[in-house]
């Protein structure tokens, strides 16, 4: 529903029909995108600073006065079908979608693409109902970064959005925990392996240690997973781990793509490396992690797009904006001891395991 609405909502708003709306944004040079995540619909745009006021006027129409035209719903649904069907040609994405579906209770693990049955049943009125229920000022975050004049921006936002009203913020009710094991049988020459296990959410006092741990595993070509699983043993063509957070929970997600013949060994060695991490971390590994995190932080400061994203992310998760110095200090304070202490407090385990390929693999905790 949210994905279809995100595509439909820009097909006419305010006094402009779909074509006029696109032309108005194009004339302002707005590079833009609409997307749906687990918790939010996201509107992103980048343009020259002098065009910001005019662009905000248009986005106010999109958010507050969308047409959601009946005649466009079938075309939008057709695009949603294609997006969903394209997943079958992307086994890596397919296994990661299923990993999240099995690791998190619904609706947290649901994929933005939805299902064939869900898309088929959608009507334009359904999207209007969804819009009226969820598009409201409570929970909406506006983040702007760049060469802005704060007072005039604040006044314009007050004028455009000050009268926006809405009902209470909807409750998020979680369903039952799905099965933590799944295999997708597919006659392929490669096997896709995906694993997940719990971590600490952003805001937790051990958050940076958790970030350090995952970057020891997967922070470049000298990281442990790449070195031990791919380089030394030649088991797979791709292997990595990443961190994913919600407000109240977080996880480490891992992926490996390999041949069918070496799939079982790849799974076993990967899990072994994940568990071995709590035995100790070397000082040079921490130095590499710190250099990588600082480099990302500096690059983020230099990109207004990335900065706007981090501002809104901080505000959602923490209710405040972290400073550059705060983050840099936390990264500088990482040590082998702090990372290992986190791993002893939250040992690697309680795995969710999803595989895709011709043969199901054996797994023991």
Q: What is the pLDDT of residue 364?
A: 82
* CB-based contact 178:310 (threshold 8 Å): no
**CA 129 – CA 84 distance, rounded (Å):** 23
The beta strand positions in the chain, using DSSP E, are: 31-36, 41-46, 181-185, 190-199, 236-245, 250-259, 352-357
Q: What is the pLDDT of residue 169?
A: 78
Best CA proximity match to 118, nearest among 216, 229, 276, 1: 1
The helix/strand/coil state of 200 is: coil
Give me the torsion for CA of 62, 68, 72, 74, rounded to 10°: 120
Q: Which domains does the chain have, with CATH numbers?
A: 2-161 (3.30.830.10), 181-357 (3.30.830.10)
Q: What is the pLDDT of residue 117?
A: 95
Q: How many CB atoms lie within 10 A of CB 127?
A: 23
Q: What is the pLDDT of residue 179?
A: 96
Q: What is the pLDDT of residue 341?
A: 97
Per-residue pLDDT of the chain (365 residues; tens, 9 = 90+): 999 999 999 999 999 999 999 999 999 999 999 999 999 999 999 999 999 999 999 999 999 999 999 999 999 999 999 999 999 999 999 999 999 999 999 999 999 999 999 999 999 999 999 999 999 998 899 999 999 999 999 999 999 999 998 878 788 899 999 999 999 999 999 999 999 999 999 999 999 999 999 999 998 889 999 999 999 999 999 999 999 999 999 999 999 999 999 999 999 999 999 999 999 999 999 999 999 998 888 887 789 999 999 999 999 999 999 999 999 999 999 999 999 999 999 999 999 999 999 999 999 87
User: Which residues are paired to 352 by β-bridges?
Assistant: 196
Its pTM stands at 0.93
**CA 306 – CA 186 distance, rounded (Å):** 38
* CB-based contact 16:24 (threshold 8 Å): yes
Which residues, at least 6 apart from 117, have a Cβ–Cβ distance to it below 8 Å?
none
Q: What is the pLDDT of residue 26?
A: 98
Task: Please give the DSSP secondary-structure letter assigned to residue 261.
Answer: G
The per-residue b/e assignment along 196-234, b for 16 or more CB within 10 angstroms, e otherwise, is bbbbbbbeeebbbbbbbbbbbbbbeeebbbbebbbeeee
Best CA proximity match to 7, nearest among 138, 18, 23: 18
């Amino acid at each position: 529903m949210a994905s279809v609405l995100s595509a439909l909502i820009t097909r006419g708003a305010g006094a402009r029909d779909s074509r006029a709306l696109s032309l108005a944004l194009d004339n302002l040079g707005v590079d833009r995108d609409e997307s749906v995540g687990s918790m939010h619909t996201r509107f992103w745009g980048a343009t020259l600073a002098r065009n910001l006021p005019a662009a905000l006027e248009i986005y106010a129409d999109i958010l507050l006065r969308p047409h959601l035209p009946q005649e466009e719903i079938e075309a939008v649904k057709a695009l949603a079908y294609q997006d969903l069907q394209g997943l079958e040609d992307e086994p890596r994405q397919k296994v990661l979608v299923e990993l999240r579906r099995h690791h998190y209770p619904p609706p947290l693990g649901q994929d933005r693409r939805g299902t064939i049955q869900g898309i088929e049943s959608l009507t334009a009125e359904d999207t209007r109902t969804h819009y009226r229920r969820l598009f409201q000022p409570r929970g909406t975050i506006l983040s702007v970064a760049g060469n802005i004049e704060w007072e005039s921006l604040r006044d314009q936002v007050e004028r455009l959005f000050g009268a926006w009203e809405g009902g209470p913020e909807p409750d998020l009710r979680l369903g039952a925990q799905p099965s933590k094991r799944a295999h997708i049988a597919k006659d392929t020459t490669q096997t896709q392996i995906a694993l997940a296990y719990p971590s600490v959410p952003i805001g937790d006092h051990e958050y940076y240690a958790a970030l350090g741990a995952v970057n020891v595993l997967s922070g470049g070509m000298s990281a442990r997973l790449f070195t031990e699983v791919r380089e030394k043993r030649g088991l797979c063509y791709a292997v990595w781990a990443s961190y994913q957070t919600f407000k109240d929970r977080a996880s480490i997600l891992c992926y490996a793509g390999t041949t069918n013949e070496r799939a079982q060994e790849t799974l076993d060695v990967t899990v072994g490396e994940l568990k071995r991490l709590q035995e100790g971390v070397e000082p040079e590994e921490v130095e590499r992690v710190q250099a990588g995190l600082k480099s990302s932080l500096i690059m983020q400061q230099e990109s207004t797009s990335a900065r706007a994203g981090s501002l809104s992310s901080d505000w959602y998760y923490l209710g405040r904006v972290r400073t550059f110095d705060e983050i840099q200090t936390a990264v500088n304070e990482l040590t082998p001891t702090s990372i290992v202490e986190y791993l002893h407090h939250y040992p690697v385990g309680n795995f969710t395991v999803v595989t895709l390929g011709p043969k199901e693999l054996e797994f023991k905790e």
